[in-house]
Amino acid sequence: MLAEIITIGDEILIGQIVDTNSAWMAQRLNEIGVRVKQISSVSDDREHILKAFAEATGRADIILITGGLGPTKDDITKKTLAEYFGVELVESEVALNNVLEIFKRYNRPLLDTNRQQALVPANCEVINNNNGTAPGMWFNHNGKVYMSMPGVPFEMMYMMDEQVLPKIKATFKLSTIIHNTILTVGEGESYLAERIADIENELPPYIKLAYLPKLGQVRLRISGYSDGDETLLQQQVDAFTNRIAERVSNVVAAREDIPLEKAILNMMTERGLTLSTAESCTGGFLSSLLTQHAGSSKVFLGGAVSYSNQLKQSILGVNAATIQQFGAVSEETVIEMANGALKNFASDYAIAVTGIAGPDGGTPDKPVGTVWIAVVTASKQLVKKFTFRGKRQQNIERSAISALGMLNTLLNDKVI
């Protein structure tokens, strides 16, 4: 089953925004067994859009369209869809009620342009937008499906997950696909592959294992494909997932497809543990990774971004003499930072990171990319030196992920 994604609007073509929607949609489609043949961004231009519809129709069964649904003049997706299908625009009661409700909620006057949001091509089925005024529109035409959605990422994402993907699955009777994910951190792809080679060799042809590496983490995705018994397939995929997860258990952070920091927050929430941070070179990035997740305040008490040596001393209680003798980027300093956070912030676990993110500040002894990380509890500690070779932002991100990997190790209790 093939799909194409067409993005309409000039924002992407003038480089004002990066098209993150398409990658997200492609990933979701792949997960239900739909391959994406082409992704196209086209301008707000009638002829160009019509041509893009025709070209995509020649290659794919499902055409997903985003953007061009706003209330302004440039937004011509609906008009052009109506022209493509040879139908009129009509007012949809479902869509109008949604618009009215949203304006009522925010207590704003309804302008004529807002009311026009409820106009849709006569041959479409309206898919309600629970997060905005632009309706989704589903078309069945000559055995192909066309789905037009707003370009605002979170409006599109909710619409896809809640309505479009289930509807595609129901319409096309796709084969069953089951995905299990194991999130690992701290071990390279090739080492992992070696450790589980015998299990991988036993996989039947309808169960595939994929290695998805990203910034010090590797996601192992075990996917089962079947046209037959779903329960049996699920059992088999689960059994292989369990064997693999047990084999590499020392580096496993989660048995589901979630970000590393979320896995750690879940684990610590379950055990009633708290965390604090002492960040130098990561400059708040580690904290912001954690705090982007709802509910993080149950685990994360807070931390210090101790960029200056003065703050390392005053907030974290690092000894001036330690910094003086060993430097701010050293094993001794990072341990004092971590213990300072543990004590001053009264948490069960504390992470400290100090390093040289670059591009300046490197020395022959401690080149750019040198990073010391410590994770401590009242009775355990893990301290490591890393030498990254990236640009500033890459070094910051790698440091944060490495710190979370070490915290995962300590939570998995593999060190004394």
Give the footprint of its own copies on residues 172-211 (CB under 8 A). Answer: none
Task: Report if residue 166 touches its own copies, rule: CB under 8 A.
Answer: no
Q: Which parts of 40-59 interact with its own copies (CB under 8 A)?
A: 40-43, 48, 52, 55, 59
Of 93-101, 176-184, 188-196, 280-288: span binding its own copies (CB under 8 A): 280-288
CB 159, min distance to its own copies, A: 15
Q: Which parts of 356-395 interact with its own copies (CB under 8 A)?
A: 358-360, 391-393
Of 19-27, 80-88, 176-184, 235-243: span binding its own copies (CB under 8 A): 19-27
Q: Which residue in the set 225, 285, 313, 331 belongs to the binding site for its own copies (CB under 8 A)?
A: 285
> Running DSSP on this structure, what letter comes out for residue 116?
G
Spatial separation of the C-alpha atoms in residues 38 and 33, rounded to whole Å: 16
Q: Which parts of 142-161 interact with its own copies (CB under 8 A)?
A: 154
How are beta strands 207-214 and 217-226 bridged, if at all?
antiparallel
Spatial separation of the C-alpha atoms in residues 302 and 294, rounded to whole Å: 15
When the beta carbons of 294 and 416 are compared against its own copies, the nearer one is 294
Element (H, E) at 310: helix 309-314
Q: Which residue in the set 235, 292, 324, 387 belongs to the binding site for its own copies (CB under 8 A)?
A: 292
CB 318, min distance to its own copies, A: 12
Spatial separation of the C-alpha atoms in residues 340 and 140, rounded to whole Å: 63
Of 79-87, 122-130, 274-282, 372-380: span binding its own copies (CB under 8 A): 274-282
Q: Which parts of 211-230 interact with its own copies (CB under 8 A)?
A: 212
Task: Report if residue 22 touches its own copies, rule: CB under 8 A.
Answer: yes
CB 63, min distance to its own copies, A: 14
Task: Report if residue 305 touches its own copies, rule: CB under 8 A.
Answer: yes
Task: Report if residue 104 touches its own copies, rule: CB under 8 A.
Answer: no
Tell me the HSE value of 104 on the side-chain side, using a 13 A CA sphere: 6
Per-residue burial over 205-224, b if 16 or more Cβ lie within 10 Å, else e, is: eebebeeeeeebbbbbbbbb
Task: Tell me if 32 sits within 8 A of 165, measured CB to CB.
Answer: yes
Nearest to 404 by CA among 380, 372, 371, 373: 373
Q: What is the dihedral of CA 259, 264, 270, 274, to 10 degrees?
A: -140
Task: Report if residue 287 touches its own copies, rule: CB under 8 A.
Answer: yes
Q: Residue type at 386?
A: F
Of 69-77, 163-171, 259-267, 297-305: span binding its own copies (CB under 8 A): 297-305
Query: What is the total count of residues that contact its own copies (CB under 8 A)?
Result: 72
The sign of the CA dihedral 39, 43, 46, 47 is negative
> Which residues lie below 8 Å from residue 111, measured CB to CB, with a gap of 6+?
none
Q: Which residue in the set 129, 241, 277, 409 belongs to the binding site for its own copies (CB under 8 A)?
A: 277
When the beta carbons of 60 and 120 are compared against its own copies, the nearer one is 60
CB 73, min distance to its own copies, A: 16
Element (H, E) at 289: helix 285-291
Site string for its own copies, 306-335 (x = CB under 8 A): xxx-xx--xx--------------------
Nearest to 415 by CA among 386, 377, 380: 380
Spatial separation of the C-alpha atoms in residues 382 and 387, rounded to whole Å: 17
Task: Report if residue 396 touches its own copies, rule: CB under 8 A.
Answer: yes
CB 227, min distance to its own copies, A: 22
Task: Tell me if 133 sits within 8 A of 99, measured CB to CB.
Answer: yes
